Amino acid sequence: MDPAAILDHQFRVAAYAVTWVIQLGYLGWLGLKWRAQKRAEKQPR
Amino acid sequence: MKKLAIGIYVLFTIALMVWGYYQAIYVAPNDAMQGEIFRIIYYHVPSWATAFVALSVSLVGSIGYLAFRQNRPVRAQMADAWAVAGAEVGVVFLTVGLTTGPLWGRRAWGIWWTWDARLTTSLVLWLIYVSYLLLRRFAAGSQMQTLAAVLNIFGALDTPIVYMSNRWWRTQHPAPVFGGAPGSGMDPSMVRPFLWNMLAWFCWGVMILAIRYHVERQHQKIAEREAEAALTA
């Protein structure tokens, strides 16, 4: 296989992977924050 | 009923993301000049478009906060929640754009980065909104929301500059694919995968924007409750 095509493939995979790591990382962080606040909300005054 | 509607929307968005990926990888052909690396466009451009939408929501939220803060405190807090949600989601999508761009540029241009107008104004936009979020995180006092809203409005001035930069100036970054110079555009076989990914990322953006708004409103209510408790203690 052409070395340039292999590099293109690796860079494309890296770009897609970075996108998902950022997006899912943020979603996970939001989920944790939501859960922590829900617990704080339930605490008695 | 509300929960069911939210569940359907989330499932619809996930299905769209899977469909968009399938379109980008298995349906769209390789670009004649750039080969497979061109497929980054299906994530890169929708990320920028969604970032602009989120930042627009943030701008409207900040204007709303300034407009309502004297007479309608509840509305002002809701507007402020949209402002912070839009800015944070915008930064997430800008980060995606600023990381996928250099990966594409390294293969297409042979360089990771260059200080041309499009790239520089994009980085400045990211820095402005990171500053906005840092201000909100670390500043305290009753003026914080007002200062943040003013910063947001001034920061938003960079958004149209980013958008127009490769129309106004000659840049390393290519001219716009859509609505650019005569002869610009995309092969019809790539347009449909591109539009599917635009829709998928837009729906994803709306989903996380709504979640972030909800989290911020929850945070405001807890802070309000704590303030009341401190006053009555």
- What average pLDDT values come out for chain B (233 residues) when binned by 10 residues? 92 96 94 90 96 97 94 93 97 97 94 93 96 92 90 94 88 75 79 96 97 94 86 80
- Beta-bridge mates of residue B35: B31
Residue range B119-145, pLDDT digits in tens = 999 999 999 999 999 999 998 877 899
How much is the average pLDDT of A26-36? 95
Contacts 24+ apart (CB under 8 A), B111-119: B111/B172, B114/B172, B116/B169, B116/B171, B116/B172, B116/B173, B117/B165, B117/B166, B117/B168, B117/B169, B117/B171, B117/B173, B118/B162, B118/B165, B118/B166, B118/B171, B118/B172, B118/B173, B119/B171, B119/B172, B119/B173
Per CB-CB distance under 8 Å, the chain B contacts of A11 are 37, 40, 103-104, 106-107
Per CB-CB distance under 8 Å, the chain A contacts of B100 are 15, 18-19
Distance CA B100, CA B104 (A): 6
Q: Where are the domains of chain B?
A: 2-176+186-232
Residue B190 identity (one-letter amino acid): M
Compute the radius of gyration of chain B from its Cα atoms.
20
pLDDT at position A42: 80
pLDDT at position B212: 97
Compute the radius of gyration of chain A from its Cα atoms.
20
pLDDT at A32 over 70: yes
pLDDT at A45 over 70: no
**Partner-chain residue, chosen from A16, A30, A33, that has the shortest CB–CB distance to B43:** A16
pLDDT at position B129: 97
